[in-house]
Amino acid sequence: MPYLGLIDDRKVIPPQVDDGATVTCPVCSGPMSVVQSHKRGTAFISRHFRHHDRNQNTSQRVSGQTTLADLNRPGVCPGESDEHQKMKSIAYARLEHDFPDASVELESGVENRIADVLVTFDEPQSPYGRGIAVEAQYRNHGKDIETVTEHYLERGFSVVWLEEDDFTSHDVDLSGILTVWPYALPDRVGTEGYSDVIRWLWQDKSPRVVMEIPIPADYWASFDKSGEWITVAQCRLRRRGRAWATVSRSPTGHLTFQLGKKEFGWNADSHRVTVQVERSDCAELREFVDKLQHQGFGSERPPEKERDQPWHDLSTAWLAGSPNVTAWLSASLSSDGNVVLTLGKKHPVNTETVTVQIDRTAVNKLRHLVDLLERAFELEYG
C-alpha cells in the first residue's frame, strides 16, 4: 500500500491529502487517489493511496478497496513508502479512528516540543489527560526518551513511543500508551509530620500472645496441582508477548506444546492451539528448528523466484499427537517474505490451526524450549 505521494513535487502522506484529491506516484509518476481508513473483516486498514488504474481493475470486485492479491499482481506499481512517514500516517489513521471526537494533528507541538502525531481532547479524559503525544522511532534513538516523556506528562499529555515492531503493513498496536494518571498524584516532597497510623505504630504494645492454630486439611489440599494445567516452560516469540510457545503438563499428566498469539488493537482476541507431545517428538522438533534456522533465515533460504506463491512450505514436523488426533508444526514463507509458523491438529470432525509470524530471534528461543521439553520428560518419566 503506497503511503507517499507528490503534489507539485512536494512529498505528502495520506493524512495531509483531502478526500477526492489526486497525487502523483513518486515511482511510476501515475495518478493516485486517497483510500479512507476502513475495516476489512476484523482488520483495520489505515488511510493510504491507490493508483487510478488499479482502482479501475478492481472496483467491481472489492467496491473500490484494494485487496492483498492486487498488491502482488505482476505489472502493478507498489508505490513508495518512506518508513518514518508511513509509521506516522498509520498512527494518525488509527488514532483518528479510535478517538473520532478528538483533534488529531501531524507534527504538532506541546510547548515547543513537537510530537510526530498529537491527539488533543476538548476536555481532559481519563486516563489520557489532555491528549496523547505519539513519537514514532524509526532507526533514530537519539531522542532523550526520559526527558521527552516527562515533558509531556508534566503538561497533562499521555505519551506512546512506537517502534517498527509495533506496526503491520496497515495497522499499529497502541497498547503501550503511558497514561497521565499515575503522574497526576501530588508531589509529597516537603510535607511534614506523621500520619495517625505511624503514630499508632510507635506506641508501646501489649505483650506478645502466642497460640497454636491448626491449619485445616482443606488448606493443604489447595496446593495439590494434579488436577490443573501447570506451565513447564514458555518463550515469547514476539515483543510484548503478542506471540508465544508454551510447554505445559495437562490435568491428565501429559506434556503438551502450545503455540499462541494475540491480535492487534484494544481488547484483542487471543488464538492458540495445544497438542499432546511424546518423548519422540523432542528429536522431531529439534530437527525442525535446525531446518528453520537454515531455510528460513540462513544460506538455504530459497530465492523469491523459486518460491511457491502465495505460500512456500519450508519444513514440517509431524508430531506423535494422540489417538484420533494428527498434529504438526510447519514453517512457511509468506508472499511478502516473512517466516510464519503454523501449529495444527486434525480431529475426526474438525481441524484447528494457529499461525504466528516470527523473526530470526525466535530460532534460539524455540531450541531452548525443546531442551526444556526434553528435560521435562526426563523428570516426569525418568
In our burial notation (b when 16+ CB lie closer than 10 A, e otherwise), range 71-101 reads: beeeebeebbbeebbbbbbbbbbbbbbebee
Write the single-letter amino acid at 199: R
pLDDT of residue 80: 52
**What separation, in Å, do the N-terminal and C-terminal C-alpha atoms of the chain show?**
55
In our burial notation (b when 16+ CB lie closer than 10 A, e otherwise), range 225-255 reads: eeeeeeebbbbebbeeebbbbbbbbeeeeeb
pLDDT tens digits, one per residue of 102-137: 999 988 889 989 898 999 999 999 899 999 999 988
pLDDT of residue 212: 83
Give me the percent of the chain exceeding a pLDDT of 90: 42
The segments of the chain whose pLDDT lies below 70 read 53-76, 78-81, 139-142, 184-194, 220-227
pLDDT of residue 63: 36
pLDDT of residue 162: 92
pLDDT of residue 190: 54
- The domain segmentation of the chain, as residue ranges, is 5-81, 85-182, 230-381
| Architecture of the 230-381 domain | 2-Layer Sandwich (3.30)
Give strand pairing partners of 38: 45
Write the single-letter amino acid at 29: S
pLDDT of residue 10: 84
Cα separation, 95 vs 44, in Å, equals 12
pLDDT of residue 374: 94
pTM: 0.46
Classify strands 113-125 and 103-110 as parallel, antiparallel or unpaired.
Answer: antiparallel
pLDDT of residue 53: 62
Nearest to 46 by CA among 340, 265, 261: 265
